[in-house]
Amino acid sequence: MRKGTAGKLHLSEEDLQLLNTPLGLKSLLADKKPNVDKALRLVKSELRFHELQAEVIKLQNWVIEKNKKVVVIFEGRDAAGKGGAIRRITEHINPRHFRIVALPKPTVEEQGQWYFQRYVNQLPKPGEMVFFDRSWYNRAVVEPVNGFCTKSQYQSFMEQVNSFENMIMDSGIYLIKFYFSITKEEQARRFKDIQSSPLKRWKLTPVDRKAQELWDTYTEFKLKMFEHTDLKTSPWIVVEANSKTEARIQVLEYIIDTIPYIQAEKKGEEED
């Protein structure tokens, strides 16, 4: 697609064909004033997303057939789009072989346990994928920022977390860690959108309401977390999530590129 000398759009045959599909027409009519350039971007992004979703189905089939175990962690700023990304990623895969874990506040009994215990209880069984919408890393950022843990508990977590992750990876679990990053301005805009919608307002928690005020403190603890836990064996993948579509595509591409289901499929044999 290019603009002519008079500023008019000159569409390629491929662009015209895309706009003439149900998805293209829907994208064109999404705004009161049709925007061809925007509609084409939306269509191309959605088609790419469909391709990646198809690959995730293949990946899950490999996980099931080979009794593999996968954990994908989603951390990041409040309102960064973690939950929405998980829903889009999992919307077409077999629901019997994956779980989304978003744990509530620990019970009194859980508060007396080893911190990692309730997360151990959620780890995948063979042939299963587990997606954590926030994880044990609550203790690295959210809890100390909001005063939900003591300095001693925080320090103990930081001393144990790398060994804990090494143990679960040694057990055969593929571990991927995403951190969704948005700007302070984008977070404020999303909070305003959520607050103004009767259908979304329930999402706002007391922690969310303090997120803007505590922005710099979150940044401080986030950087400490990265410094200590961004390891070669289990790196943090930072996802720039101001654009939800681009963030979801990046996450899917990384999962597909990282878990070796394609190589195994080509070889026709299971990894050692």
Domain containing residue 194: CATH number: 3.40.50.300
Mean local confidence (pLDDT), 10-28: 63
Structural domain contains residue 238:
yes
**Least confident piece of the model among 64-68, 147-151, 221-225, 262-266:** 262-266
Q: pLDDT per residue over 117-127, tens digit each? A: 999 999 999 99
Asked if 228 and 28 touch (Cβ cutoff 8 Å), the reply is: no
The pLDDT, as a whole number, for residue 9 is 59
Mean local confidence (pLDDT), 3-19: 58
Q: pLDDT per residue over 221-244, tens digit each? A: 999 999 999 999 999 999 999 999
Query: Where in the sequence is the domain holding 235, given as residue range(s)?
Result: 67-267
Structural domain contains residue 37:
no
Coil, strand, or helix at residue 71?
strand
Structural domain contains residue 39:
no
The pLDDT, as a whole number, for residue 27 is 57
Q: pLDDT per residue over 71-101, tens digit each? A: 999 999 999 999 999 999 999 999 999 999 9
Is residue 7's pLDDT more than 50? no
The pLDDT, as a whole number, for residue 265 is 56
Q: pLDDT per residue over 254-264, tens digit each? A: 999 999 997 55
Q: Which run of H or E residues covers position 132?
A: strand 128-133
The DSSP 8-state label assigned to residue 78 in this structure reads T
End-to-end CA distance of the chain: 48
Structural domain contains residue 26:
no
Q: How far is it, in rounded angstroms, from Cα 60 to Cα 53?
A: 11
Higher pLDDT pick, 52 / 264: 52
The pLDDT, as a whole number, for residue 43 is 78
Structural domain contains residue 157:
yes
Structural domain contains residue 23:
no
236-240 and 128-133 as β-strands: parallel, antiparallel, unpaired? Answer: unpaired
Please count the structural domains in the chain: 1
Query: Hey, what are 165's tokens?
Result: 């992750």
Structural domain contains residue 78:
yes
Q: What share of the chain is helix, strand, coil (3-state, %, to 5)?
A: 55, 15, 30
Q: What is the mean pLDDT of the chain?
A: 89
Compute CA distances 221 → 78, 141, 142, 158, 214, whole Å.
14, 5, 9, 11, 11
